[in-house]
Amino acid sequence: MNKLILGIIFLFVSVIRLPAADALSLIGYTEPVSKQDDIMKVWITAASSTQIEYKTTPQSLNRNRIKRSEVKSVYFFEPPIFKEAVELYESRDYRGAREKFAACKEAFDKLDNLKGNYGTLAGFYELETCRKMFDLESLKKLLDVYQFGTLAREHQRNQLEVYAVWDAVRTKSWSRLDALAVEVLEKKKWVGEHVAQIKYCHGLALEGLGRDTDALIAFNGAFTADYTASEELTQAATLACLRIIKANEEVKLAIQLWGTEDEDPNSPGYFLLQEGLAMCDLWKKSLGSGKALPSDYTFFLRYREDNKPKVKAKPKPKADAEEKPKEGEPKEGEPKEDG
């Protein structure tokens, strides 16, 4: 019985420690005696602000330590679990990728203070999976505890700034988001991926404030800034445009007058109706990435100018019959009698 209990305890402890992993790396360092630069292949097990702990073989039980002051560089090899997560991420299985990135983050959490470590990088992509799934509540919770100090790439660190804009979407603080989006956009020269996010969030704010025309401009800016590269965002911006166009009163009037003599091809509603049609065509061609156009917007496809019914000319009123001369009056062309 005691053996069974001890076995269960051992198994439980093993499961708890399972996520921990050693990071295969190359350490560039200065040999303390010869003062010569050298490189060694190691499996890093932990790191503090003063030293790095490592093994020289993956199976070794011995731990060696080197002072951080002697280390010139650390290069991490990509761990298999991170590679698996990236494959899921790139295939747009964000739910599966999030689980893998979370496991990778936990496995290498003892290396958080080493620049370029895969635990910190996995944590970043875990945040990104939440954003791409528009799970802003989970994004907020993860962001509150995320340690990003050793995140190496500039565009990833810039993304952390863009998350402030997403958080205003989460709280539906439209007035604050309107001002924040303008401020952030003017702050620096952003890459297209970040511009698309900021403009999309700004579009939501403008739509929430009832400024539909400005919202359409912002949403259009979102999917042109990073055309089809940020698939989820591009599609969301396109559907937001279609949502606004569909609800527009002038568009409703243009639909009502479609193909009639009272139709005005120069009206704003007519223009927006054709804009909606063009977006639907783009969705089917590339924006939708093979997804069917949502049924709420398929009606736009009916309003092609080539399919417009011919306007039937209204029948002209018949000419009034010639008035017959009154009795006693001369017929046309005859001289009147002198009184």
User: Can you give the residue ranges of every domain in the chain?
Assistant: 17-152
Model confidence at 286: pLDDT above 80: yes
278-286 LR contacts (CB < 8 Å, sep 24+): 279/238, 279/241, 279/242, 280/242, 282/238, 283/235, 283/238, 286/228
Asked if 228 and 208 count as a contact pair (C-beta separation under 8 A), the reply is no
- Positive or negative, the Cα torsion across 301, 216, 226, 85? negative
pLDDT tens readout for residues 303-322? 998 877 776 555 666 655 45
Q: Model pTM? A: 0.81
pLDDT tens readout for residues 25-71? 999 998 877 778 899 999 999 999 999 999 999 998 899 999 999 99
Asked if 115 and 150 count as a contact pair (C-beta separation under 8 A), the reply is yes
Residue 218, pLDDT score: 96
Grade residue 249 by pLDDT with cuts at 50, 70 and 90: very high
**103-115 average pLDDT score:** 94
Residue 324, pLDDT score: 55
In terms of pLDDT, which residue wins out, 41 or 3? 41
The whole-angstrom distance between residue 159's C-alpha and the CA centroid of its chain comes to 12
Model confidence at 323: pLDDT above 90: no
> Of 272, 278, 271, which Cα lies nearest the Cα of 301?
278
